Amino acid sequence: MGYDETEAIRNLVSKAGSIPGRSPRILSRRASLEEAEGCLSKIESTLVSESDALQRFASVDAAVKSLRPADPMHCIHPQAIRDSAATFVSGFPGKVFYAVKVNPSPRVLREINAGGVANFDVASLSEVALARGMFPKARLAYTNPIKSRESIKSAYFNYGVRDFAVDTFEELHKILEETSIAKDAMASDLSILVRLAMPKGSATHDLSGKFGADAEASAQLLRDADKVAAKVGICFHVGSQCMDPISYTEALARVSDVIKLSGVQLDILNVGGGFPVAYPDVVPPPLSEYFAAISAGVKKMKLPKTCEVWGEPGRALATPAETLVVRVELRKGDALYINDGGYGSLFDGMLLGQRWPVRLIRPDRASRSKKLVPYKFYGPTCDSMDCIKGPFLLPDDVNEGDWIAIGQQGAYCSAIRTNFNGFYSDLNVEIMDRGYLGAPRFSGSVNK
């Protein structure tokens, strides 16, 4: 490419003055957080009143009975979210950053925060603005390894973001340029997290393909970042819905190798997301085994006492947040044509064969067949790909006009939905139970 990254870093470093404890030293006017916070007052918060606008019900069944929803209905379980956040925070051996992308609903963010999660992992400028607008004092880690120059600059100057991930020299260079206080003065308060590549492991949602530098490149990046940033760290992601805690043990061993190669001491070790939940026929080990593997792995690494350990859970916190209620518009044999689908909240079901717990809701006719049979779902769009194979076990007499509650829908479901073919529902209600299908360790029958 002709891009001389070492030269580029060197050029930036040559403008340097001083950061205590770092070499070479960087002279700069400190971009104060106060300045950035000043800009925050300009952020328009349309969020605060959201929860007040939601109708509340004692149960999903009560909401269906009252509203008889013709559109897909998103049932939010505030108590279940708070519980899963509190459980995670109390067990995880480090600081918890919720991955906003997984479910950015302000209602969900607020409950996650109420459960004790004070920091947020953000992947875009709009997530930065959302999280900062709601939580002015939160630490926001911008961990998408590839960001636009505009978003880096705005995140730093307007929203007080100081933690950025990189997996290339070009991105490091970009960040240094865009956060420069003046032409010849660099920001002195950056922390740079080098994203280390991971192999495909035990996760059902592989994330090994797109991001991450190999061990040698990560070591070099760490050395370069160490010259120009106030703090340096390593981050990684073992893949989402990681089914074996050993993936974290192995990942930490890789991090150790990179640290040795680089000769740099870490200020931050970010073990990413990946923490699993239970779905039908998928019961991972308890979270405590993941936390124990991380604690043991970190202990072995003999990191400096000042090194912070971070985690960025998404799925494990958000999954119990929502139950989706859909309506059956037509039945053809074992195929139920429902009003949400693969271009809506059930994207992972279409693409990855994801299954969720389901339950029939029939408010008028109490009786239903006791015999359960397997169904597939078709979504409402005209694309024949819009099929969620399941199988989903429901009574054998399901028919038009029945509602189906689909549980464990809080993560990567409503966040992904599109309005393809004009189908998009923003019907949200709040359910005041502790999580309709049990959370976060749901397993067993949902057809009670």
Ligand X SMILES: Cc1ncc(COP(=O)(O)O)c(C=O)c1O
- Point out which residues bind ligand X (CB under 6 A): 99, 102, 121, 143, 237, 240, 272-275, 312-316
Instruction: Give the residue with the Cβ less far from ligand X, 156 or 310.
Output: 310
Query: What three-state secondary structure class fits 331?
Result: strand
Is the CB of residue 362 less than 8 Å from the CB of residue 63?
no
Shortest approach of ligand X to residue 315 CB, angstroms?
4
Instruction: Give the residue with the Cβ less far from ligand X, 76 or 413.
Output: 413
Query: What three-state secondary structure class fits 227?
Result: helix
Instruction: Give the residue with the Cβ less far from ligand X, 16 or 172.
Output: 172
Give the integer Cα–Cα distance in Å for 157 and 304: 30
Q: Alpha helices, DSSP H only, in 68-123?
A: 78-91, 106-114
Give the integer Cα–Cα distance in Å for 97 and 74: 25
Instruction: Give the residue with the Cβ less far from ligand X, 225 or 360.
Output: 225
Instruction: Give the residue with the Cβ less far from ligand X, 61 or 312.
Output: 312
Instruction: Give the residue with the Cβ less far from ligand X, 74 or 315.
Output: 315
How deeply is 324 buried, as exposed, middle or buried, from its count of CB atoms within 10 A (0-12, 13-18, 19+)? Answer: buried
Query: What three-state secondary structure class fits 268?
Result: strand
Shortest approach of ligand X to residue 205 CB, angstroms?
7
Supply the angle between the helices 169-178 and 215-228 in degrees, to the nearest 10. 20
Q: Please, what sign has the CA dihedral across residues 53, 55, 56, 61? A: negative
The residue with tokens 């990946």 is: 274
Shortest approach of ligand X to residue 313 CB, angstroms?
5
Shortest approach of ligand X to residue 324 CB, angstroms?
18
Instruction: Give the residue with the Cβ less far from ligand X, 315 or 359.
Output: 315
Shortest approach of ligand X to residue 355 CB, angstroms?
17
Q: Which run of H or of E encompasses 278?
A: none
Instruction: Give the residue with the Cβ less far from ligand X, 97 or 377.
Output: 97
Give the integer Cα–Cα distance in Å for 271 and 31: 28
The residue with tokens 């054998």 is: 396
Is the CB of residue 385 less than 8 Å from the CB of residue 342?
yes
Supply the angle between the helices 149-159 and 33-40 in degrees, to the nearest 10. 100
Shortest approach of ligand X to residue 272 CB, angstroms?
5
Write the DSSP assignment of 133-144 as a string of letters.
HH-TT--EEE--
Instruction: Give the residue with the Cβ less far from ligand X, 241 or 339.
Output: 241
- 109-121: b (≥16 Cβ within 10 Å) or e: bbbbbebebebbb
Query: What three-state secondary structure class fits 127?
Result: helix
Shortest approach of ligand X to residue 401 CB, angstroms?
35
Shortest approach of ligand X to residue 284 CB, angstroms?
12
Q: What residue is closest to ligand X based on CB?
A: 273
Shortest approach of ligand X to residue 43 CB, angstroms?
23
Give the integer Cα–Cα distance in Å for 191 and 175: 11
In sequence order, what are the beta bridge partners of 240?
205
Shortest approach of ligand X to residue 392 CB, angstroms?
23
Which phi and psi angles does 311 have, rounded to 5°? -130, 155
Instruction: Give the residue with the Cβ less far from ligand X, 274 or 390.
Output: 274
Instruction: Give the residue with the Cβ less far from ligand X, 127 or 430.
Output: 127
Is the CB of residue 416 less than 8 Å from the CB of residue 41?
no
Q: Pull the structure tokens for residue 398.
A: 């399901």
Shortest approach of ligand X to residue 35 CB, angstroms?
27
Instruction: Give the residue with the Cβ less far from ligand X, 69 or 201.
Output: 201
Shortest approach of ligand X to residue 165 CB, angstroms?
7
Q: HEC states along 208-238?
A: CCCCCECHHHHHHHHHHHHHHCCEEEEECCC
Is the CB of residue 5 less than 8 Å from the CB of residue 171?
no
